[in-house]
Amino acid sequence: MRKKIVAGNWKMNTLPAEGVELAQNIEAGRNEVCECVNFIVCPPFTHIAMVAQTLKDSTVELGAQDCATEAKGAYTGEVAASMIAALGCKYVILGHSERRQYYGETSETLNKKMAQAYANGLTPIYCVGENLEERDAGNHFAVCKQQIEEVVFNLTEEQFKNLVIAYEPVWAIGTGKTATADQAQEIHAYIRQVLAEKFGAAAAECPILYGGSCKPSNAAEIFAKEDVDGGLIGGAALKTEDFLAIGKGFSK
Ligand code: PGA
């Protein structure tokens, strides 16, 4: 049985006090949702410590949205994986399309970040996904395969056991456009097949999340698909009711 995960990527939203309030509300409503659902929140770096304090007795887990390529030292403005791990983060989102697109992150960058994450006991949530042009040209399979081959294929078998993948079509992120449940299933199954080429049976255990305008009205249909193990949620993760309602979307 693969883990069911609903992870909130808060991106560059909320001030510290708002983040704490959001975490408090999620925690307060968490018992309305099946215990089988693993909730994760990923606040901005600035409020991870405060949110960690808020969630210290909670089953809601904590992640960061990024980490540095290096362990420590003279890298002004960067945040090391060891620092976020020390605050209580269990996860780190890596390779989000916004990082690839706006901050020029390449597979080379991401291989270093993955190494830092594992060296500090963090589970990466590694994002892959094609843009609209690539989808229209029918290249979405090839794009996802390359993003996996160039980074995930460098992991050891042990590391691979602690990995979450998020498939996030760039054309669906923050646009209100969602992949259909069938589109999601098609590519999730494909990603699992690519993973199996390298990691064999362990690929069946790897959670693959869908991300991109996931909301209460479409989560249930998408999560019902065989190879979809939950969601990486942006906009809807900022509203407690929506975030929890997405968790209720699990019926399997
Ligand atoms: P969205 O973002 O739910 O706002 O589309 C998802 C993501 O980028 O992780």
**For residue range 7-34, what is the model confidence (pLDDT) as tens digits?**
999 999 999 999 999 999 999 999 999 9
Q: Which one, of 28, 54, 26, lies nearest residue 40 by Cα?
A: 26
pTM for this one? Answer: 0.97
> Is 188 noted as a catalytic residue in this protein?
no
Mean pLDDT of the 158-170 span: 97
What percentage of the chain carries pLDDT values higher than 70? 100
Residue 252 has pLDDT above 70, yes or no: no
Residue 103 has pLDDT above 70, yes or no: yes
Sign of CA dihedral 164, 169, 175, 180: negative
Give yes or no for residue 212 CB within 6 A of ligand 1: yes
Q: Which one, of 92, 175, 108, lies nearest residue 135 by Cα?
A: 175
Instruction: Confirm if 234 and 9 have CB atoms less than 8 A apart.
Output: yes
Give yes or no for residue 214 CB within 6 A of ligand 1: yes
Residue 251 has pLDDT above 80, yes or no: no
Catalytic site residue from 96, 130, 134, 188 = 96
Mean pLDDT of the 189-212 span: 98
Residue 84 has pLDDT above 80, yes or no: yes
Q: Whose CA is nearest to atom 7 of ligand 1?
A: 234
Q: Which one, of 175, 83, 163, 79, lies nearest residue 128 by Cα?
A: 163
Q: What is the pLDDT of residue 34?
A: 94
DSSP H or E segment with residue 208:
strand 208-211
Residue 244 has pLDDT above 70, yes or no: yes
Give yes or no for residue 211 CB within 6 A of ligand 1: yes
pLDDT band of 174, cuts 50, 70, 90: confident
